[in-house]
């Protein structure tokens, strides 16, 4: 659900309710995603405790900020079950931040905040054969154009379950 918030300067910004519903990190490539209630985001590194922060992720040899944070809408995971009869737990999506009520595709190319942390949406996080290999057949097809968002960390801080997602 979208709503506007006035910052007192006449600048109404969009915020979404029920924004961050869960957070996951994995210590190494192919390791199970571990739920956490909060995580520190660091510019140029990503999320503390995650495989890409320590450069031990499967695709760490590809330079660039698009491995720092990944987000996915819980609605996409629910649609995968509803439309394709594929049950995928939020952690099995291999995304770091699970949101509800946030149109992530619209944040590609834009700056936004999760709690007090400023991020920049870089590009859609389309599913790949690697994800399907770690989960099950049909995940790739079921998450096309709704596999989430890759984002760059622009400011350091904590991201917590329950944090709002809003325009800066």
Q: Rounded to an integer, what is the distance from CA 102 to the centroid of its chain?
A: 11
Q: 129-167: string of b/e by CB count within 10 Å (b at 16+)?
A: eebbeebeeebbebbeebbbbbbbbbeebebbbebebbb
Residue of higher predicted confidence among 39 and 85: 39
What is the average per-residue pLDDT within 118-142? 73
Residue 166 reports pLDDT greater than 50: yes
Task: Please give the pLDDT value at position 4.
Answer: 46
Question: What CATH number is given for 2-166 in this structure?
Answer: 2.40.33.20
Sequence ranges of the domains in the chain? 2-166
Span 44-95, pLDDT tens digits: 999 999 988 988 776 556 667 878 999 999 999 998 889 888 888 898 888 8
Mean pLDDT is lowest, of 15-24, 55-64, 131-140, for 131-140
Note the pTM of the prediction, 2 decimals: 0.85
Please say if the pLDDT value at position 112 is more than 70.
Answer: yes
First to last CA, the chain: 18
Identify the bridge partners of residue 75 per DSSP, sorted by sequence position: none
């Amino acid at each position: 659900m979208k709503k506007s918030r006035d910052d007192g300067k006449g600048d109404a910004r969009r915020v979404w309710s029920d924004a961050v519903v869960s957070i996951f990190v994995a210590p190494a490539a192919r390791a199970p995603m571990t739920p956490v209630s909060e995580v520190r985001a660091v510019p140029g590194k990503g999320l503390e405790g995650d495989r890409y922060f320590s450069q031990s992720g499967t695709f760490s040899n590809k330079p660039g900020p698009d491995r720092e944070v990944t987000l996915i809408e819980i609605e996409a995971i629910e649609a995968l079950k509803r439309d394709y009869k594929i049950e995928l737990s939020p952690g099995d999506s291999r995304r770091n931040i699970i949101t509800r009520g946030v149109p992530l595709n619209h944040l590609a190319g834009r700056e936004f905040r999760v709690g007090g942390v400023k991020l920049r949406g870089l590009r859609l996080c389309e599913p790949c054969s690697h994800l399907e290999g770690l989960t099950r057949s049909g995940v790739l097809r079921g998450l096309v154009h709704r596999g989430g968002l890759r984002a760059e960390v622009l400011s350091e801080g904590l991201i917590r379950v329950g944090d709002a997602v809003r325009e800066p």
